[in-house]
Amino acid sequence: MPFALEHLSFHNGPIELHAVAAGRADAPVVLLLHGFPEFWHSWHKQIEPLASAGFRVIVPDQRGYNTSGKPRGISSYALSHLVSDVLAIADQLSQQRIFLAGHDWGAAVAWSVVLLHPHRVSKLAILNVPHPSVMRRFLKTNRRQLRRSWYMFFFQLPWLPEAAFRAFHFRLGVRSLVRSSREGTFSPDDLEQYRAAWSQRGALTAMIHWYRAAFRHRSRFPDSRVHVPTRILWGERDAFLLADMAHESVRYCDSAELYTFANASHWLQHEEPARVSELLIDFFRA
């Protein structure tokens, strides 16, 4: 890519967060948050287009992932701490307000940032994760969604999820990516990079602790409405999350647009990189 990637370190107390960056240092900041079981590489196809469009692009490895810090204990991965990591990055960039985008767990963090600290985000972009109130309701009332979320309950067990994920050179992790995406979405090089990230000491337990913390440390929001302009992008062939939740999420936003992709899966920014980049650039520039 024309923009050489920079490797940066941020700190939130004792936690060090690795990030890659591109674009002019004085440009408006776009922060991209990855989900499970990825790392910054989740957004590698969007970094150059966003930087070329005039943004300073920051893509962290969230806590517990790849080479970022991996604090002990389930409570270290409660949403309040994950949100504080985003604010710490913005503070160290001297940014009062940022453009924020998230996919999967990164989208859950992004929703939480704007619900708790709306004054810190200029615009919010969400990929394939519903508003937290919608997710909670569907898990309680919708059997189809409950079946799709079986792995969240499996991850509550001690040690067994890590052992299963690690077995046979991370066969379960690779299979979860390959079988739930369009053919050829993840290249052999992509998968090797994921294996290297999962091989980092303590990474698997830290990654799965995000799910354990979600069940044990429920976040409460003073206001369930999103007052920040929001754009939701959703691959309708998501094997994990029902597309109905995307439409329901719009109702929780003062100003929201929904773009659906009929032939894309959960891994939207990998499968439709040009269109996702275009929609992010158009939204953040407007």
Nearby residues of 94 by Cβ (< 8 Å), 6 or more positions away: none
Catalytic residue among 103, 131, 209, 266: 266
Residue with tokens 């040690």: 159
Tell me if residue 104 is catalytic: yes
161/119 Cα distance (integer angstroms): 38
Nearest of 127, 108, 105, 128 to residue 238 by alpha carbon: 128
Q: What is the DSSP code string of 179-241? A: HTS-TTSS-HHHHHHHHHHHTSTTHHHHHHHHHHHHHHS----S--SB-S-EEEEEETT-SSS
Tell me if residue 77 is catalytic: no
In the beta sheet, which residues pair with residue 31? 58, 100
Decide if 42 contacts 33 (C-beta within 8 A).
no
Catalytic residue among 65, 77, 194, 211: 211
Decide if 283 contacts 231 (C-beta within 8 A).
yes
Token digits of residue 25: 């240092």
195/200 Cα distance (integer angstroms): 9
Helix axes 132-141, 105-116, angle to 10 degrees: 120
Tell me if residue 85 is catalytic: no
Catalytic residue among 104, 190, 238, 252: 104
Residues classed as catalytic: 104, 211, 266
